[in-house]
Every structure is written in C-alpha cells, then in structure tokens.
C-alpha cells in the first residue's frame, strides 16, 4: 500500500493535526477566522515550505562550492491582486497570487557569489512545482 507523504486529520473546529514522517504539527485558523489559533494556517505552512526550500537550495549549492555562507534568511509575503486578464483584453480582472521573497545571505561572499546564490535559490523545487505544470487528483475514499 502506498504511504502518504503527509496525513492531515481535522476534527471539530478548524484545528488540523498533520503527520509528516515522524513529525507532528498543528494547523489552525486565527480566532477572527473561526479557529482557536493553535498553529499556523495552511497557507502559512505553504509559505513556510517555500521559504525553507529557498534557503535550503542556496545552502546546498554554497556547500557544494565550499563558499563561506554562514546563514540564509528568507522572508516571504503573499497577497492576491486583481489584474487585467491578458487573455481577454477589455474583460474583467483575473485574481493573481503575488509572492514577494527576500533572501539575505550572511557570510563572506562577493557580489558574484551572492548573485549566483540568488539565482539558484530562485529555482528551488517548491517554486518550480508552483510554476507548473501541476495536476492535483482529489478523490473520496
């Protein structure tokens, strides 16, 4: 039988218990959204995955090159904006998810190394998955 990468169980309310390998985390919604704020929201966990992947991708590259990278700090912002739909000029707006990512490299790196790390970090697997193509199959069991 195929084992899931992630298993989530939602009981009463909006708190979700999540099991990932031998790790357990909780997701919930803030009080103003009907939860009890027992953990980050599902979307915050999604953004955390993007930030962690960005940082880890830079770290693995710097380690392979034996560059002096002491730390990587990644900050992610997300908003949804309405933009003109380029596929339908004059039509209604299309809702677009906008992600702003700042990456700070801490260490004795020159300008070229920092630029290369930024380019590599920008190609992390989570970001590549977001940019598709993507297919999600959902079924009841």
Give residue 40's pLDDT: 98
At residue 53, what are phi and psi to the nearest 5 degrees? -65, -40
CB-based contact 94:85 (threshold 8 Å): yes
For the chain, give the longest Cα–Cα distance. 54
C-alpha angle with apex 72: 66 to 77, nearest 5 degrees?
Answer: 145
123 within some domain: yes
Domain count, the chain: 2
Give residue 92's pLDDT: 79
Q: Among 49-53, 84-88, 117-121, name the one with the lowest average pLDDT.
A: 84-88
Give residue 24's pLDDT: 97
Over 80: is that where the pLDDT of 89 sits? no
d(CA 122, CA 64): 17
pTM of the model: 0.89
In this structure, the answer to whether residues 118 and 103 fall within a common structural domain is: yes
In this structure, the answer to whether residues 59 and 112 fall within a common structural domain is: yes
Q: Pick the closest to residue 131 from 82, 84, 97, 87 (CA basis).
A: 97
100 within some domain: yes
139 within some domain: no
DSSP for 35-102, written as a single string: S---S--HHHHHHHHHHHHHHHHHHHHHHHHT----EEEEEEEEEEEEEE-TTSTTS-EEEEEEEEEE
122 within some domain: yes
The pLDDT tens digits of the residues spanning 40-62 come to 999 999 999 999 999 999 999 99
Tell the burial category of 63 from Cβ atoms under 10 Å away from its Cβ (0-12, 13-18, 19+). exposed
Q: 94 is in which domain, residue-wise?
A: 41-130
In this structure, the answer to whether residues 5 and 60 fall within a common structural domain is: no
Helix (H) or strand (E) holding 24: strand 23-27
In this structure, the answer to whether residues 121 and 59 fall within a common structural domain is: yes
Give residue 62's pLDDT: 98
In this structure, the answer to whether residues 114 and 86 fall within a common structural domain is: yes
125 within some domain: yes
């Amino acid at each position: 039988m195929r084992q899931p990468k992630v298993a989530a169980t939602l009981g009463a309310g909006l708190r979700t218990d999540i099991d990932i390998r031998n790790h357990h985390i909780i997701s919930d919604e803030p009080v103003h959204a009907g939860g009890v704020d027992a953990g980050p929201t599902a979307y915050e966990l999604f953004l955390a995955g993007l930030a962690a992947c960005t940082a880890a991708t830079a770290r693995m590259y710097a380690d392979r090159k034996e560059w002096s990278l002491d730390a990587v700090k990644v900050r992610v912002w997300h908003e949804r904006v309405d933009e003109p739909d380029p596929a339908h000029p004059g039509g209604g707006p299309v809702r677009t998810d906008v992600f702003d990512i700042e990456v700070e490299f801490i260490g004795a790196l020159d300008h070229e190394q920092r630029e290369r790390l930024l380019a590599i970090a920008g190609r992390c697997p989570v970001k590549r998955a977001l940019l598709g193509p993507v297919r999600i199959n959902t079924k009841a069991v």
